[in-house]
Structure 1
């Protein structure tokens, strides 16, 4: 049993349960259906409400009550609020029968077909998944129509959006304290929880916010000439950086909810048109310039623009004053000094580009104010930089860039290939947000981005998304069925972070180099596997004269915190495109860590024809092989995707797979294309495998390891469904419901169910990751009191010395079964709870405290939060939090007070210009 239970944990699990109950509707037809089919429409009371049926009745099939449908029979759900998708199990009395699903948003007056399912006569029920896409609509009806008898359906599961109702009263706005460059916008609030303010200059705002999208890190450009200013619940906001004598159009949108549950009121819109004062003013395009790290003795340049209006006298000068560390000029290559004088006439200085050169001389941080004044106006720009001892360069690319530019922040390139060709060991390529359509042809004929150069062990070359921006490499113009990949990575010691690669003509990334890290990347809608490590069936084809891999080719690569979904190959219609693959003669030391694969055509992971062991840690795979997801693929013939979850081996034309593969804390589920599809699949691999703390459910076979071998190990795993484990291996402390004799035998745990978990839904598996890349926090987490708690052997996941985030401390007497330890009693670090009504607040739970203080805080506006423990004399003892916070979220931070003397302290929360203080009392 566990030792203690924190109150905050109870809140978290209870709130999570409420969310799950609200967001999912499940009908299993166990009671309420008639035993014979009515010939006219009839209302029946089922567990989910009143359904309307015709030609439909209850029938026992394969041990359960199912909804059976005659030809032209139908079943209509009760009204459903905000449905997103529907899934259901189905089979027929004969193959090829078609079930049609329709929706109505006008109470049945009209119907729209949203999908079909072709049923099979197999005794095993298949699963259909269909999108509804009415997450903002209430009272939606679904209708299931039988094309020809008899079709059976069961376990209709409707996922509904957690998006809250939009407000009904829009905010209005007014302006006060108007100057030449700023004004105060006052909110007359509507009935929402907050409001979003945007503006444009010189023309009406031509933009609307998207429900489910929270606009953070404001102010920033949202689209052409539209600036997002503020989101929150304040009474007013001061808008700065405006131009004198210009007309600005402000729009305000009332909203409810937070994060991906936010819902905006867009009709009508609150509007304000206001002109700034015609007074002397100087406006700059930036308030600050941060040069980052620059090597001592090497200069780095940035630029900004300034303009001035309504200056007095009519003709005069504007003076810019800086320092020897930050020199300024109006020329990008010459004329730099500590001061600069600009002449203006007719009371105006037209937009002028100013170049700033940072030349550090010491290993230290630099900060300087660039003062700009003249014509009875003044403004300041903050200049920041760090002197370093590295000569590494930083290159920039942008969707608005030009390959004839300099590759700098102010003059970025467009093609990633351009930056790759320039990069040397230690360099960094920053990729600005937006969509790129690569055009550069490295080999003269294909737009494949080719990485052939290498970094070194101590100087990797890094490709990284610009902070808080989301770049997409879209290869839609690549021809399909010709093996043209998005990225071909042959080099060593590259680190690629935060790219989304889509619609490549083959793999998104084909990786053949060594010591590379692919992190926080996404692969979708590619014409083959998202990312594939390895070569071809014949190793010598890519390495002439070398018959086999000695382990040093395609070796020691780490794929971390990546997602791969909806990849499907057209040439073999699904039989090749996996989420992730390490196959066909890989080298040593390749690892997949905290990756997710879902709805891919073939398998989630494929370790086919391997030459050396492959390691998977905390990886999830689900939904493979669903033909209905790939109607966009231009392919001929029938769909060929296998649909397995994690395939841990396989023998082919290139030889038998080798190496003892390992899966730690991994999950495979809902891979149920047919009754033979597997979650974890040995696939005749003969060199052994090791599975520890893995979970599988909802597959034809959750675990299929049919080939005997003494080199097979299974510990602390959980299996809900069918299983086959050949004799000869080692197993202990696994959980299963199957009574098969071809299964685990030693210290088997039973008596568990899905109610042991907070959630096992696909929507929770697909939820956003944490900011650190961690997996969603609800899926596959045990509930308090589960029979699976404290039943495992005390194994620790490997490689925690390299990846500390993988470590899971053991709570209680022993390791829990399955991938995640139930953290009862000792909460460390931070937890969050979604609360759309959260206000700017701070409190100490269990105050006074003796050894640990639990601090709860929240905000009704986003920003950087600083949480400090301060002595009564004002000196700061500890800053225990300094990160961005979002609206609609309560944060719980646990801190140790063992090093504090008995007495009273202050806990101070600062976000922006607002502060909250709470007393912290330490009792020894």
Structure 2
């Protein structure tokens, strides 16, 4: 990847996200639509409303007479509501907000109409505004592109049992997709592409591909995602107090100053798994069958997390720093593969346990790879939204080491 450059560490800003209490106060003062949550046991009549660029908010929201704005549709959402959006580009005048929850049987769904291409563009929002802000449970948001917001693409605060799938978040002024706050439980982020997010005003140190930050909650899963070319990290679990599972995901080319930001401070780790949250136990995150390449710092990093992290069958390739940086962590690393990283394969310190990794004494030899050309990994996703088929970083023999890249 050309010349390696020596990078110094910087202190992370402690105001990456507002404390939860402050966030509530601020949210009440910011323009947006909030609805009260539906009781989990309440029954609602399923309703489908439609939005189209040639509709009118004075219409009835039917397929033949759609609303024009997502603000209108989301303001009417309740348990059992499906919002179907016709193809086109929408420019909200304010953050799209809701605290109206679905139920286990009657979710709130926001999705394109059939296979039409829907783009939410935040270029007309006020300074620091995110495109979508939820404080709600049992939503499914799918198949939508979120771009060009001054703040984040999608932020969900203290939310549970939501599914965010087949989304693209890019060119935003903060992290592409963020979960934050306590009681954030059981959410699934599936098949996310989050790239090119950059925070110019704060030197590039805030905008990750995706983050779970300043909060807690169990059962959160990230799968099938590509987090790349962001100004800070690919994945950031900064100050998250509960275990997160990440699988079948790729983080690459993060931390480069592609935007000529003055006094650039972006970190550039692929998967940043810390740090510990004060007063909370160290979270034992799990990362498996994932890969990090060509990031400006480490491929996989504990980031100050001293907990029992578990990395299994991952690959770190051509990162500018170390492949794996886990000094001070009680991590367990098994069957991981490190190849051609600028500052060495791994720094596991005295507390971590390494078994059957490419750098482990007596472990498997580094196997040959089918190809080190990443072109196919950057290609279109499969029809169901899953990662593209690729031979990149796939081991040539049957050695069960490193990511399977699927």
> How many residues in Structure 1 have an aligned counterpart in Structure 2?
365
How far residue 693 of structure 1 moved from its aligned partner, in angstroms, is: 0.8
Match of 1:515 in 2: 161
Deviation string, structure 1 residues 742-782 (Cα, Å, up to 9, x no partner): xx34x5112434xx22x333322211110111211114363
Distance 1:763 1:494 in 2: 34
Is 1:642 matched with 2:289? no
Q: Does 1:598 align with 2:228?
A: yes
Distance 1:751 1:566 in 2: 32
Q: Is 1:769 the counterpart of 2:377 in the alignment?
A: no
Cα distance in structure 1, aligned partners of 2:126 and 2:45: 40
Residue 821 of structure 1 deviates from its aligned partner by 8.2
Q: Where does residue 286 of structure 2 map in the other structure? A: 662
Q: 1:398 to 1:761 in 2, by over 3 A?
A: farther
- Output aligned runs, 1:239-318, within 5 Å: none
Deviation at 1:729, TM superposition (A): 3.3
In the other structure, the counterpart of 1:727 is 350
For residue 417 of structure 1, give the secondary structure of its aligned residue in structure 2: helix
**What's the offset of the Cα at 1:708?**
4.2
- Separation in 2 of the partners of 1:600 and 1:765? 17
Q: Which residue number in structure 2 is paired with residue 474 of structure 1?
A: 121
Q: CA deviation at 1:689?
A: 0.3
Q: Flag the 1:781–1:702 CA change in 2: closer, same or farther, 3 A.
A: closer
Residue in 2 aligned with 1:741?
none
Q: 1:644 to 1:751 in 2, by over 3 A?
A: closer
Counterpart of 1:418 in structure 2 is 72
* Relative contact order higher in (CA < 8 Å, ≥ 6 apart): 2
Q: CA deviation at 1:657?
A: 7.1
Matching of residue 580 in structure 1 with residue 210 in structure 2: yes
| Paired position in structure 2 for 1:484 | 129
CA distance in 2, matches of 1:408, 1:658: 50
**CA separation in 2, counterparts of 1:669 and 1:497?**
27
Query: Contact between 2:394 and 2:403, CA under 8 Å: does it hold in 1?
Result: no
Q: Distance in 2 between matches of 1:506 and 1:760?
A: 35
**CA 1:123–1:394: 2 relative to 1, 3 Å:** closer
Are residue 818 (structure 1) and residue 402 (structure 2) matched? Answer: yes
Query: What is the distance in 1 between the residues matched to 2:47 and 2:381?
Result: 31
Structure 1 residue ranges without an equivalent (≥5): 1-87, 92-119, 125-389, 440-446, 536-548, 737-743, 792-815, 823-924
Asked if the contact 2:99/2:134 (under 8 Å) is kept, the reply is yes
Using structure 1 for the length normalisation, give the TM-score: 0.38
Provide the C-alpha distance between the structure 2 equivalents of 1:819 and 1:462, rounded to a whole number of angstroms: 33
Select the residue among 409, 432, 441 that pairs with 2:63.
409
Q: 1:615 aligns with which of 240, 245, 248?
A: 245
3-state SS of 2:363 partner: coil
Q: Quick one: which of 160, 172, 175 aligns to 1:529?
A: 175
Tell me how far apart the structure 2 counterparts of residues 468 and 578 of structure 1 sit (CA, whole Å). Answer: 28
Q: Aligned to 2:215, what secondary structure does the other structure show?
A: coil
Gap regions ≥5 residues in structure 2:
9-43
Distance 1:731 1:783, change over 3 A: closer
Contact 2:276 2:306 in 1 (8 A): no
> In 2 relative to 1, CA 584–778 (structure 1 residues): closer, same or farther, beyond 3 Å?
same
**Deviations 1:87-135 (CA, angstroms, capped at 9, x unpaired):** x5137xxxxxxxxxxxxxxxxxxxxxxxxxxxx6x599xxxxxxxxxxx
Q: Which residue of 2 aligns with 1:568?
A: 198
Q: Distance in 2 between matches of 1:657 and 1:760?
A: 39
- Confirm or deny: 8 A CA contact 1:598 1:622 kept in the other structure: yes
- Residue by residue over 1:391-441, the C-alpha shift from the partner in whole angstroms, topping out at 9 and shown as x without a partner, is 4121111122211111111111122121122222222111111100013xx
SS in structure 2 of the partner of residue 571 of structure 1: helix
Aligned match of 1:715: 334
Query: Map of 1:331-480 to 2, 5 A cutoff?
Result: 391-439=45-93, 447-480=94-127
Q: TM-score when scaled to structure 2?
A: 0.85
CA distance, structure 2, for counterparts of residue 424 and residue 585 of structure 1 = 26
